[in-house]
Structure 1
Amino acid sequence: AMTVLDHLRPDNFARANTSHTKVECSCVGLRPGQAYTTAQLLAAVLMVSGNDAANMLADMLGGQRVAVAAMNRKAVLVGARSTKASSPSGLDGPGWESITTPHDLAVIMRAALRYPLIAQIMRSPTAPFPGKTLHNQNELLTRYPGDLGGKTGYTNLARKTYVGAAERGGRRLVVVQMYGTGDLYGQAIRLLDYGFSQP
C-alpha cells in the first residue's frame, strides 16, 4: 500500500482484465472491463485481503516484477531489512517465498499509519466498491477501544497472522502475531492490554 501511494494518486484508475483474477483467493471479485481507482483497490487489499486487487495495483505500477522490486526497496527504507516480498499479495509459490519477521511487520505498520489514506482505510468499518460494500475483516475495530487498524493474513507457510495498532493515554502500541492458531483477535487484545499496563 505504501509503495502504491508513493507512485500513484488515489484517483488514478485502470480497467481490470482476466489476468488480475487468476490468483489464489482471498479475492475482492474484480470484474474484467470494470474501472477501479487506486483508492478502491487499496481498500480491497487492506480490508478484505483482495489478492486480485493486489495484482491489478502491481500492473498499475508497471507489472509484478517492477512492483515487487519497489516493495522490497520500500521495506529497506522503513527499516524492515529482513523482509523480502515475492509477489504483490504476499502469497508464496513454487520456488519462491515471501519472508518477514515480527519486528519488520511492526516497523512496516508504524510507517504505513503515517500515510493518511492507509490509516483512514484501516480504521473504516466499511468502504464503497463497484457493485458492493467492503466490510473490514479486522475485528479489533469493534472489539478494542483505541484500535487504529490492523491487517489479517494467511498463507500455507505463515499460517494465521495479524498486525494491528492501538492508542491509549497518548501511547501507541503495535502487536504482531505470526504462525498463529485459535482466536488471534483475543490473543491480540491480551497482548495489547499487557503492553498498555506497563510503565
Structure 2
Amino acid sequence: MPAFDGGEDDRLAPVTPLFGAQPDAAAWHPAWRSDAHVESATPEDAEPGADRFADAERALLRRLRTRQLSVSEARTFLLTGAALERPEADALLEDFLRRGYLDDTALAEQLIHAATQRKGQGRRAIAQALSARGISREVSDAAFEELPDDDAERALEFARTKARQLGRYDDDTALRRLMGQLARRGYSGSVAATAARAALAENRSGGGVRFR
C-alpha cells in the first residue's frame, strides 16, 4: 500500500462543516472564548476529584483551540495526558459531543477538503489519514459519499505540474517516477498510470513522444 504523504501540517482550527448547516454561532463561539463554565465551582462546593476533572476539561479546551481532535484522540488525551479514569473521560467526552466541541463527521469533511483542494491527494491516502486520526470507517465512508468521484481529474492535474520537471529523463524513467509520485499521493495504480501517461504525452507532444 502506498505510504501516506503527510508533507503538510494537518493541524486544523475548530471544524466548520462543509456539507451541511453551519453551527449555531451563539452556542459555539462563547465556549471557545472563555473557560468560565469550568471555573464556577468554589472550593467548598467541589466534590472529591472535581479539581482534576475541571483541570482536564480546561486542558482539552485549550488543545481544541489549536488543533481539532477526533473523539478517539480526545479520549487518548484525557486518559493519558490528563490522567482521568475511563468513566470520567467518557462523561467529559459525552458533554463535549453534546456541545459540539467534538464532531468526527465535521472533522472528516474538513480533512477531506484539505486533502483534495490543497494537497491533491487521492482517496486511498485520504482514507489512511482519516483512519490515523481515529475516525471510524462508517464516518469516513459517509463523508466520502459527499466527495465527487474525480480522482482521475485530480491525478491528471497533479501529474501535469510534475511532468515538466521530468524532461531530462527517458520515457520509461519519467513514467516510472511520475507514477510513483501519484501512488504516494494515494492514487490507485490504474489512475496513476493513466494520469502519468497523459501528462507526459502532453508535456512532450512537441517532440512527438506518445505513451501507449
| Superposition TM-score, scaled by structure 2 size | 0.25
- Give the number of the structure whose residues are more often helix, by fraction: 2
| Superposition TM-score, scaled by structure 1 size | 0.26
